[in-house]
Amino acid sequence: MIRRLDRRDFLRLGGTGLAGMALLGSGALAGCGGGGEGGSGGTVTYAEGPDDTGTLKKLLDGFDKKYEGKYKVKYREMPADTQGFFDKLRTELQTGNSDIDVIAGDVIWPAQLASNGWLLDLSERFTKDLQSKFIKGNVESNVYQGKIYGVPFVTGAGLLYYRKDLLEKSDFSKAPKTWDELKQMANKAQEDSGTKFGFVFQGGEYEGGVVNGLEYIWSYGGDVLKGDKVVVDSPEAAEGLATYRSMISDGVTTQAMTTYKEEEAQATFLRGDAVFMRNWSYVYALTSDPAQSEIKPEQVGLSTLPVATEGQEPAGALGATNLYVNATTKNEDAAWALIQYMTAPEQQKMRAIEGARLPVTKRSYKDKELREKVPVIALGEKALKTARPRPVSPYYSDMSLKMAEQFAAVLRGDTRPEQATKTLQSELESIIEQGKNA
């Protein structure tokens, strides 16, 4: 079973010529079955962003020890920013001779990487039976055109963080259920306590800003894609974006949010300078580290993100990492051994407890010790289990740039929401159209 070079392969290979083609061929063969020659041993190169927890080294050392004399893992540090990581990876994979074997990458990548033929189809190894042990949404994020191209590694969801102490002082006893409630509560608590910001989030023009904008659109019942049809030009989507903008125009937060990323929001909240924060689940762990946080875990409450009207399904995004295998790997067996090791219960537990990386196996969520030592697992359980994937498309990275541009323009007040959804509709349609005709 030799994979045919299709039109896309030719386009992709571009100037790389025969050397690239030969490599692509050997990789495609290695991917066909029991691993081929190269699969029987060697060093597996593992690419991930920088680790700020110290647990990645421990994890990888553990693999070397377990497979001593058989396999070894070599770490390649990739950019921390998801777009930077993707661009670097794409440039390498395009040449067909990257030495990376396993990629710990963003949950939004499979469609794009797989449609270019850059990922190994793991359907035979990551069987339905194995899949059933993982959180469903995370598994599904790896599926493209009926095949599975990755294994869940770390999960996370968009959550609402709030200052319990400040809300109580302003006579609020519960987290807000709707965006309107959030705005009222933020304004009052901010005024009563003299806190700098009512609400902080990620409004910068980048992937994080896309996530924030999408969460508002979803929470009003809007969406961006249905299958491969663009549906963003709707009153619901425009209403969602109007609420996004109103966080600034109604004084809940300031224009500073238009440049905020995860780190800025986190630093502001942990300094005690915000009543509410939208951020990923991993931030919770930092509140118990006095070196990083001036507020204590007892002061912090967590809930799913608000929605438009009470009773609606939560609309927080899935922010997660999966493990993918480069289609041209010569170490398929070693790569798979590494993936199995990384996702095994002991390793998932160690990383959750010591590194606040949330586990992806269902049984972790029943583990008493884990629930006790990593409180966000219980506190954020609903959000983690209902987290929504971003649009799945082979053209996601181009679509994301356009969404980032329009969402940020709305937030700044430069573009009206209805104009932004209209513009996006035609921009996204033309990206898909061009992709199909390429």
Among 101-109, 284-292, 305-313, 429-437, the segment contacting ligand GLC (CB under 6 A): 101-109
Q: How far is CA 120 from CA 86, 147, 279, 328, 371, in A?
A: 17, 10, 32, 8, 34
Among 106, 215, 332, 367, binds ligand GLC (CB under 6 A): 106
Q: Measure the CA–CA gap between 161 and 429, rounded to whole angstroms.
A: 36
Rg (CA), the chain: 22
In DSSP terms, 119 is beta-bridged to 326
Q: Which residue, 27 or 49, has its beta carbon nearer to ligand GLC?
A: 49
| CB 108 to ligand GLC: min, Å | 6
156 binds ligand GLC (CB under 6 A): yes
Residue 24: exposed, middle, or buried by beta-carbon count in 10 A (0-12, 13-18, 19+)? buried
Q: Which residue, 82 or 287, has its beta carbon nearer to ligand GLC?
A: 82
Q: Which residue, 306 or 319, has its beta carbon nearer to ligand GLC?
A: 319
Q: Measure the CA–CA gap between 176 and 276, rounded to whole angstroms.
A: 10
- C-alpha dihedral over 334, 339, 343, 347, to 10 degrees? 50
Quickly tell me which residue has 């993936």 as its tokens: 339
211 binds ligand GLC (CB under 6 A): yes
- Chain CA centroid to CA 344, Å: 21
| CB 156 to ligand GLC: min, Å | 5
| CB 259 to ligand GLC: min, Å | 14
252 binds ligand GLC (CB under 6 A): no
152 binds ligand GLC (CB under 6 A): no
280 binds ligand GLC (CB under 6 A): yes
Q: Using CB under 6 A, count the residues that bind ligand GLC.
A: 12
Quickly tell me which residue has 């910068």 as its tokens: 204
- C-alpha dihedral over 224, 253, 161, 406, to 10 degrees? 20
- Chain CA centroid to CA 225, Å: 18
Among 38, 221, 314, 319, binds ligand GLC (CB under 6 A): 319
89 binds ligand GLC (CB under 6 A): no
Quickly tell me which residue has 């008493």 as its tokens: 368
393 binds ligand GLC (CB under 6 A): no
Q: Is 1 helix (H, G, I), strand (E, B) or coil?
A: coil
359 binds ligand GLC (CB under 6 A): no
| CB 106 to ligand GLC: min, Å | 5
Closest-approach residue to ligand GLC (CB): 319
Residues that bind ligand GLC (CB under 6 A): 82, 106-108, 156, 207-208, 211, 262, 280, 319-320
